[in-house]
Amino acid sequence: AQSVTQLGSHVSVSEGALVLLRCNYSSSVPPYLFWYVQYPNQGLQLLLKYTSAATLVKGINGFEAEFKKSETSFHLTKPSAHMSDAAEYFCAVSPYFGNEKLTFGTGTRLTIIP
């Protein structure tokens, strides 16, 4: 069975500061991992995905995530926060390539302090 844990349901950072959103997964097979973002009144948008190629994955809007098998983590980072990054972020896992059923974490709401 797959599971995802997102540490911190709310994270606040100052504009220009580092953004770090944590995600740990549990999987009995090599996982495929995703980060989605939901802006207010919008649908979920794919930020980036890990599919067993490079362990450091770059996504849209300057975000990146590093797959660390030894730590079962897939933390999301951005060097410098922007006001437009305020949103809710979801980490998700899928067990097989081609099986698109996703298991999500509980989400982290990111607030940017001016």
Partner 1 sequence: EAGVTQFPSHSVIEKGQTVTLRCDPISGHDNLYWYRRVMGKEIKFLLHFVKESKQDESGMPNNRFLAERTGGTYSTLKVQPAELEDSGVYFCASSQAVWGYTFGSGTRLTVV
3-class SS at 98?
coil
- In Å, what is the CA distance from 78 to each residue of 17, 20, 63? 9, 7, 5
Task: Restricting to residues 14-33, name those near partner 1 by CB under 8 A.
Answer: 32
Region near partner 1 per CB under 8 A, out of 16-24, 46-54, 63-71, 76-84: 46-54
Residues 6+ apart with CB under 8 A from 9: 106, 107, 108, 109
Q: Does 59 bind partner 1 (CB under 8 A)?
A: no
What is the footprint of partner 1 within residues 61-100 (CB under 8 A)?
90, 92, 97-98, 100
Interface contacts to partner 1, rule CB under 8 A: 4, 9, 32, 36, 41-46, 49, 51, 90, 92, 97-98, 100-107
